[in-house]
């Protein structure tokens, strides 16, 4: 009788385990810590770009872009074209809706009360009952207070996202993932980042860890993920995704979707829980790194190419 019970229990366990899909992962996710210095576990370059001074010094010492994990060419210089987009965002921020209110009605002239706020996003939103990114927060706020429909990945939403982010320029990223739903989102995002998916069976980490970083991928220059989220939303001139009308602004959600499309994964819905979790993971691994808004993905400076050619 005891034996039969044991046998029955043994039978049940594999059935339950079978319900859980065993995904494929690239190695390394257990090593990730939610701070930009966590890069030391993934590349041997953190000391070259850990702050503006370090970037300047490594450039002066003649290090190539590749040696500094491609972190130099867009971080140091602001984008002049991006400034024009910030101005457009400021205009939307002060524009009065039909009910006579604007974003400035609650958040102050020139977003006074939003200084430094973007560096702490994504965040748990108690009213929505879930973790939200900048664009989702803009959507919820615009609907509730202005009765405007500005969903993620639309023009006004992206302009506002860039404008509000610019109010945190220079402020170190500080996303708290120590407990609760934010901790859960971070862990889920980390899991998704290393999970292999899609037609190529790639993970995000296929291009952003190991030998793939500091190498060339066609015309692209993949680097480790640490620190990069501090520059988003980014002014991104060279190409658009099909159907884009977002003023060439790549929010982090938009960037994740673009990466998914390029690597033949199913592009996620911007603002959805899984996409939000990936953003939490990316932003938290930029903790401690100052926001730099607006920069642009492909800086106009091509010095690094001349250096490569002269090698």
Partner 1 sequence: MKTAMRYLLLGTLALTAVLSASVLAQSSSGDEKLDKIRAKWKPGGAEMIPQDVLTMFPCHSEELPCGKIAPPPVEKVTFKGPLEGDAKRGEAIAINVRYGNCVACHSLPGHEGGTIGPSLSDYGKRGMPLDYIYQRIWDVRVFNPNAFMPIYGPNRVLTDQEIRDVMVFITSSK
User: Please, which residues have CB within 8 angstroms of residue 101's CB and are 6 or more apart in sequence?
Assistant: 145, 146
Q: Does 21 bind partner 1 (CB under 8 A)?
A: yes
Nearest distance, CB of residue 41 and partner 1, angstroms: 16
* Dist. CA 115–CA 166, nearest whole Å: 9
Residue placing its CB nearer to partner 1 in the complex, 84 or 217: 217
Q: Does 206 bind partner 1 (CB under 8 A)?
A: yes
Q: Does 211 bind partner 1 (CB under 8 A)?
A: yes
Of positions 14, 129, 242, 243, contacts partner 1 by CB under 8 A: 242
Of positions 172, 198, 237, 240, contacts partner 1 by CB under 8 A: 198
What is the enclosing helix (H) or strand (E) of 130? strand 130-132
Residue placing its CB nearer to partner 1 in the complex, 86 or 265: 265
Q: Does 216 bind partner 1 (CB under 8 A)?
A: yes
Nearest distance, CB of residue 258 and partner 1, angstroms: 12
Residue placing its CB nearer to partner 1 in the complex, 202 or 235: 202
Q: Does 273 bind partner 1 (CB under 8 A)?
A: yes
Nearest distance, CB of residue 264 and partner 1, angstroms: 6
Of positions 31, 56, 57, 201, contacts partner 1 by CB under 8 A: 201
Nearest distance, CB of residue 284 and partner 1, angstroms: 18
If 0-12 CB within 10 Å is exposed, 13-18 middle and 19+ buried, where does residue 25 land? middle
Of positions 34, 233, 268, 271, contacts partner 1 by CB under 8 A: 268
Dihedrals phi, psi of 229, to nearest 5 degrees: -65, -20
Of positions 192, 230, 249, 284, contacts partner 1 by CB under 8 A: 192
* Dist. CA 132–CA 157, nearest whole Å: 14
Nearest distance, CB of residue 22 and partner 1, angstroms: 7
Residue placing its CB nearer to partner 1 in the complex, 102 or 197: 197
Half-sphere exposure of 76 (CA within 13 A, CB side): 20
- Positive or negative torsion for Cα 266, 267, 270, 271: positive
Alpha helices in the chain (DSSP H): 2-19, 46-49, 52-60, 72-75, 80-94, 103-107, 134-146, 155-166, 180-194, 205-208, 252-262, 273-284, 303-309
Residue with tokens 């980390």: 190
Q: 271-290 burial by CB neighbour count: b if 16+ within 10 A, else e?
A: beeebbbbbbbbbbbbbbbb
The count of residues interacting with partner 1 (CB under 8 A) is 38
Residue placing its CB nearer to partner 1 in the complex, 26 or 167: 26
Near partner 1 by CB under 8 A, which window of 24-32, 74-82, 118-126, 137-145?
24-32
* Dist. CA 183–CA 281, nearest whole Å: 10
Of positions 210, 237, 247, 307, contacts partner 1 by CB under 8 A: 210
User: Please, which residues have CB within 8 angstroms of residue 274's CB and are 6 or more apart in sequence?
Assistant: 188, 192, 268
Residue with tokens 């590749």: 66
Of positions 105, 145, 261, 307, contacts partner 1 by CB under 8 A: 261
- Please report, as ranges, the residues that interact with partner 1 according to CB under 8 A: 21-24, 26-27, 192, 195-202, 206-207, 210-212, 215-218, 242, 260-261, 264-269, 272-275, 278
């Amino acid at each position: 009788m005891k034996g039969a019970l044991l046998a029955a229990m043994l039978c049940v366990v594999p059935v339950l385990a079978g319900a859980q899909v065993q995904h494929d992962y690239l190695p390394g996710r257990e090593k990730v810590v939610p701070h930009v210095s966590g890069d030391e576990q993934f590349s041997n370059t953190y000391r070259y770009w850990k702050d503006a001074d370090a970037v300047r010094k490594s450039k002066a010492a003649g290090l190539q872009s590749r040696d500094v994990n491609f972190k130099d060419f867009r971080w140091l210089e602001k984008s002049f074209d991006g400034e024009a987009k910030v101005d457009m965002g400021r205009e939307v921020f002060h524009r009065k809706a039909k009910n006579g209110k604007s974003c400035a009605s609650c958040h102050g002239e020139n977003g006074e009360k939003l200084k430094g706020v973007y560096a702490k996003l994504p965040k748990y939103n108690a009213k929505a009952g879930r973790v939200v990114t900048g664009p989702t927060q803009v959507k919820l706020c615009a609907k509730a207070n202005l009765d405007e429909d500005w969903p993620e990945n639309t023009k006004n939403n992206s302009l506002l996202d860039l404008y509000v982010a610019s109010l945190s320029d220079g402020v170190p990223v500080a996303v708290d993932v120590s407990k609760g739903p934010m901790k859960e989102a971070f862990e889920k995002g980390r899991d998704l980042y290393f999970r292999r998916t899609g037609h190529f069976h790639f993970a995000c980490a296929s291009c952003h860890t190991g030998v793939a970083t500091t190498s060339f991928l066609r015309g692209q220059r993949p680097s480790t993920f640490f620190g990069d989220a501090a520059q988003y939303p980014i002014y991104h001139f060279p190409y658009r995704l099909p159907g884009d009308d977002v003023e060439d602004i790549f929010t982090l959600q938009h960037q994740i979707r673009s990466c998914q499309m390029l690597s033949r994964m199913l592009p996620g819905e911007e603002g959805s829980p899984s996409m939000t979790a990936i953003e939490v993971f990316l932003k938290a691994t930029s903790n401690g790194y100052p926001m730099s808004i607006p920069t642009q993905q492909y800086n106009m400076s091509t010095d690094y190419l001349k250096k490569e050619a002269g090698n």
